[in-house]
Amino acid sequence: MNFAGTQKVLVADDDIVNRQVLSDLLKPEHTVLLAKNGEQALERAARHLPDLILLDVVMPDMDGYEVLRRLRADAQTAHITVIFISGLGRPEDEANGLKMGAADYISKPFNETVVMARVAMHLQMVRQRRMLEHLAHVDGLTELANRRRFDEVYEAEWQRSRRSGRPLSLALLDIDAFKQYNDHYGHPAGDRALRAVARTAASGLRRPADLAARYGGEEIVLLLPDTEAAQAQQVVSCICAAIVDLQIPHEASGVAPVLTVSAGGATLNSAAPETCSELFSAADTLLYQAKKSGRNRVEW
Ligand code: GH3
Ligand code: MG
Ligand code: MG
Ligand code: MG
């Protein structure tokens, strides 16, 4: 994951001179987007997801306060860092802006060096926050979502499925005879095989909302929102077949001459288990069955 790329700054101001001055200041180092009113600011923010917004407060039609309120109300833009930049320079204006959730408040007329320094400082904080989020959510070996991330997403998708009545499918994948693989080929080779399996699982998913996470050791969990059992089973079977197609030799397997996986899956629908741990247990039980009945298979 690269955190060092150019960052995007959206400048929203109804005054063309302000837009021009700020744009000239920021352009050498950042990608600059411009908006001349609140409506445009919201549209560009949603479309480009900038790292930072320099937001004028006094604008006709929709003021900066309203823009900030609407940014926060939309999950996609809720966490974008906003700096107010305003001609309203009284202490209570500044305090009010910060209370509303702006990260900073710059009064006009602004000093160019100070604007640059504050923007640089906030962009650095955005970068650090992204790195922390990555560390908190991504498994270092496989680059899949980690268990913590899975738990968060699973809980949210579970609630959503219960509310909407839409199905939610979940599958557990476990590498067959992986202990023997490590014993035979060594732990570093085991790590490489695990990474290849993880990549194959992730690239076998078909929708943006689908999630592959490393649940533990050599166990991967797949979460398929809005997916009926038959369709989910097909996706998981394709992933398992693609893992066999990697043709990773496994002489010590006892199942096949190449690395294989077993999977158990379950689907939540109106008549299905009551809690998210019951759905998970159902998948786990079916994984156990797949193992017991010979491995290299999917049970649903
Ligand atoms: P089964 O077919 O029943 O799943 O047999 P198994 O040998 O895969 O199952 P078991 O749970 O007994 O062993 C899992 C092995 O996976 C043991 C452990 O050393 C290995 N493993 C877990 N995490 C990692 C890892 O990050 N890297 C490597 N190389 N091996 C791992
Ligand atoms: Mg203005
Ligand atoms: Mg296991
Ligand atoms: Mg295993």
Is the pTM higher than 0.80? yes
Tell me what pLDDT residue 4 has: 82
Task: Name which residue sits closest to atom 10 of ligand 1, judged by CA.
Answer: 179
Find the 218 Cα to ligand 3 centroid distance in Å.
5
What residues sit around ligand 2, an ion, with C-beta below 5 angstroms? Answer: 14, 56, 58-59
Mean pLDDT of 280-287: 96
Per-residue pLDDT, 3: 80
CA-wise closest residue to 126 among 79, 169, 164, 87: 79
pLDDT of residue 78: 97
Q: What value does the mean pLDDT of the chain take?
A: 96
Class of residue 219 by CB neighbours under 10 A (exposed 0-12, middle 13-18, buried 19+): middle
| pLDDT, tens digit (0-9, with 9 covering 90-100), for 39-70 | 999 999 999 999 999 999 999 999 999 999 99
Tokens (6 digits) for 237: 């079977």
Check residue 271 and give its pLDDT. Answer: 66
CA of 255 to the centre of ligand 1 (A): 15
What pLDDT was estimated at residue 80?
A: 98
Q: Please, what is the end-to-end C-alpha distance for the chain in angstroms?
A: 35
> Which pLDDT does position 67 carry in this prediction?
98
Calculate the alpha carbon distances from 241 to 57, 244, 261 in Å.
Answer: 56, 5, 9
The answer to whether 248 and 196 are in contact (CB under 8 A) is yes
Q: For residue 273, what pLDDT is reported?
A: 63
Is the pLDDT confidence value at 207 over 80?
yes
pLDDT band at 185 (very low <50, low <70, confident <90, very high): very high
Ligand 1 atom at minimum distance from 255 CA: 2
pLDDT at 2: 73
Instruction: Kindly report the protein residue whose alpha carbon is nearest to atom 20 of ligand 1.
Output: 179
Report the C-alpha gap between 227 and 166 in whole angstroms. 8
**SS3 state at 36:** coil
Mean pLDDT over residues 213-227, rounded? 97
| Averaged pLDDT for residues 95-118 | 96
Report which protein residue has its CA nearest ligand 1's atom 27.
191
Looking at residue 39, what DSSP letter applies?
H
Q: Residue 162 has what pLDDT? A: 87
269 pLDDT higher than 80: no
Percent composition of the chain: helix, strand, coil (DSSP 3-state, to 5): 50, 20, 30
Q: Closest Cα to atom 21, ligand 1: which residue?
A: 217
Does the pLDDT of residue 272 top 70, yes or no? no
Which residue has the CA at smallest separation from atom 24 of ligand 1? 217
The pLDDT of residue 1 is above 80 = no
- As a whole-number percent, the residues of the chain with pLDDT over 70 amount to 99
Q: Is the pLDDT of residue 199 over 90?
A: yes
139, 141, 178, 214, best to mutate for ligand 1 pocket (most atoms within 8 Å of CB)? 178
- Report how far ligand 4's centroid is from the alpha carbon of 260 (Å): 10
pLDDT in tens, 107-157: 999 999 999 999 999 999 999 999 999 999 999 999 999 999 999 999 999
Ligand 1 cavity residues, CB under 6 Å: 141, 174-179, 182, 187, 190-191, 194, 217-218, 291, 295
Residues labelled catalytic:
218
pLDDT at 51: 98
What H or E segment, with its residue span, contains residue 73? helix 64-73
Percent of the chain with pLDDT over 90: 94
Q: Is 39 exposed, middle or buried (0-12, 13-18, 19+ CB in 10 A)?
A: middle
Q: Which ligand 1 atom sits nearest the alpha carbon of residue 191?
A: 29
